[in-house]
Structure 1
Amino acid sequence: MPLTSFRKERTKEELRLILPEINEVLESESAVLRIDPESIMLIGDIHGNLEALEFVMQKREKLGCKKILFLGDYVDRGMQGTEVLTKLFRVKLEDPENVFLLRGNHETIDMNFFYGFFEEIGFDRDFLLEISRTYDRLPVAAVISGHTFCVHGGIDGTGNISSITKEGAFPYLWNDPSERPGLSISSRGSTVREFGPDIVEGFLDTNGLKRIVRGHTAIMTGYKWWFDGKLLSLFSCPDYVGLGNAAAFALIEKEEIKIVAFES
């Protein structure tokens, strides 16, 4: 067996061994986390980029920021998804009160089959089924200090956050913002929706919130503000599939958000 294949199999086995423990921790968390930090880092898509994840964790230590929230999409498109999941699950197990992991649309079997993770794990269906049971336990969203709603994709209307469930995660993993008002069909597929500024305004009003922070969209600058600062898109995987894009994460202190580029 080539050395790289041996290392990948060893990482798979390490990941498999911690799944029961991480499942128990994630099972205990609600669909919508409530986090009240002095400060917190918000991290966008990682997509199997271990170097990006290590940069983020080094920044966490340098900034002295205990709490960190990942917005999903840990695997696919990059070939270090097993390493990324292993590292994330380990830091979550070591520090469950400060490390939080949301589910992204790539934390699903359907995406893993077609976008790289299934190939990365040697087309191992049994292993993918094991991982999928962990995916199902991941929280869907988080509310930071009662003012910021964090999610991978977006929202599904102007309803109350209390209606969000792990079983009904789909729209929160997939939906995107749009300048068009209302809810409209997305180019991503007929079951996906785009939500306009009026939907964001209504959602924030219903839930007494200030803003939404989400991932899901590759952005050349690593971040993008929408709707007069009511929504922030983050992307934390530099040079995603060769696009040459920058990457960024956000730091919330009190109610203020600071954007940190990966070069910083």
Structure 2
Amino acid sequence: MAPPPLQIVEVEQLDWQAVRDAANPSSIRSNMRATVERMEALLDKADGPGLLFDKDRTDPADKVIQVSKLDTGSPLWIVGDLHGDLLALEAALTVMHDPALPSDGALPRILFLGDLFDDEGFGLEVLLRVFELIVDAPDRVCLIAGNHDEALSYDGVRFASSVTPSDFADFLNANLAHEWIERAGKVAVRLFARAPRALFLPDGLLVAHGGFPLVDLHARLAETGDWNDPMCLSDFVWTRVHPKARKKLPNRFSRGSQFGYEDFAAFCSLSSGLGRPVTRMVRGHDHVEERYAAYPAYRAHPVLTTVALSRRLSRESFGPYERVPTIAQFVEGTLPRVYRLHIPADMIRDVYPELAPGSPESETIQEPH
């Protein structure tokens, strides 16, 4: 049986000037001390910060969370890779609070799929804005670690990153003399160290940044049932979807392993046998040109990729500079509904001036006009 068609909503009529005004780096930085202090206090709580789905952890160290029950009366929004895209984040938040959308007055819940920074843009400001959302309502925000988030580290003296590009770590090191920027970076490292790597929702939706434990881990996983095995955690974060392949051999010599549709079917069977039924998946990680993709080859077990990037990144070689970022809304029993945010092209170029070929990559700040 063919899966139902993907639901797509085109968001064109929005108060774009209000979105532009909200994407104000100076305003966000002006609240940095208070935001970081509140975030530190939340992480210092003896019983944990109490983020969305934390109550479903089997123990505080559990990073592969089986959600026992999902409140479908409150909208659950899914935001993929931002990579410093403050404009796309503010557009997403505006859509989530749009009174024209049916919500029965319920406040939105937000599930971030990771990769908040790197690739220029406004990594610090996006991080601080997410901190604000968390401290204002911890039980309405879940943050899954992406590969760029997981890669950020701090050794007590300097920040480092095990991925490329790693301009956010460079930015933090260039601002070590700024107490609150340094402390924001340290809070980020703490937050992502405890962040989940995957969620198993009760209706069969798997949520991760990248993918799932690949086939060479299945026998051991079937034997141990240890979802928090470090190699499993790595696959949830790092693996990439191949849009057409049946199977792909795991490549353990790099972090570029892919999976095919039969690999995902095998994982769904394994997971169901371990008491965690999976029928489909939503993920980020792959910066597809349309900023979302659902793959026809995966019709038996559908996969949705969604990323919230309004610009072409420096490491993306093709396509237009201005993009249509996407977010998704959970729909029980099927793939999430995709919202395409048609931010005006001139606004995108205003916030993110296109670098000329050969220009140095740097974190720039453009004030609203």
If the length of structure 1 is used for normalisation, what is the TM-score? 0.83
Equivalent position of 1:36 in the other structure: 70
Give the superposition deviation at 1:261: 0.3
| Larger Rg over CA atoms | 2
Query: Residue 365 of structure 2 aligns with which residue?
Result: none
User: What whole-Å deviation, never above 9, does each CA across 1:37-80 have from its counterpart, x for those lacking one?
Assistant: 31421111011111111111111111346222110011111331
Alignment partner of 1:133 is 2:190: yes
Contact 2:239–2:255 (8 Å) recurs in 1: no
* Correspondence for 1:75: 117
- Percentage identity across aligned positions? 19
Is the alpha carbon distance of 1:60 and 1:189 closer, same or farther for their aligned partners in structure 2, counting shifts above 3 Å? Answer: farther
Task: Could you tell me which runs of 5 or more consecutive residues in structure 2 were left unpaired when the two chains were aligned.
Answer: 1-23, 153-160, 177-181, 272-276, 315-320, 344-369
Q: Give the Cα separation in 1 of the matches to 2:119 and 2:31.
A: 18
1:200 and 2:269 correspond: no
Aligned partner (choices 254, 258, 262) of residue 337 of structure 2: 258
Q: CA deviation at 1:153?
A: 0.8
**Higher deviation after alignment, 19-28 or 50-59:** 19-28
Asked if structure 1 preserves the Cα contact closer than 8 Å seen for 2:119 and 2:165, the reply is no
2:86 counterpart of 1:50: yes
Inter-CA distance 123–167: structure 2 relative to 1 (3 Å threshold) = farther
Amino acid at match of 1:163: D
**DSSP-derived class of the 1:259 partner:** strand
Distance in 2 between residues matched to 1:83 and 1:255, nearest whole Å = 35
Query: Structure 1 unaligned runs (5+)?
Result: none
Q: Take 1:214 and 1:76, find their aligned partners in 2: how far apart are those partners?
A: 18
Amino acid at match of 1:69: L
SS of 2:148's partner is: coil
Q: Is the 8 A contact 2:280 2:302 kept in 1?
A: yes
Other structure's SS at 1:233 match: strand
Q: Which has the higher strand share?
A: 1
Give 2:303's aligned residue: 231
Q: Give the Å deviation of 1:20.
A: 2.2
Counterparts of residues 96-115 of structure 1 (less than 5 Å): 96-107=138-149, 108-109=151-152, 110-111=161-162, 114-115=165-166
Shift of 1:140: 0.9
Aligned-CA RMSD value:
3.2
Call closer, same or farther: CA 1:164–1:192 in 2, change over 3 Å.
farther
SS in 2 for 1:244: coil
The residue identity in structure 1 corresponding to 2:341 is F
Residue from 110, 123, 129 that aligns with 1:87: 129
Aligned residues: 260
| SS of alignment partner, residue 132 of structure 2 | helix
Pairwise CA distance, 1:111? 4.7
Relative to the length of structure 2, the TM-score reads 0.61
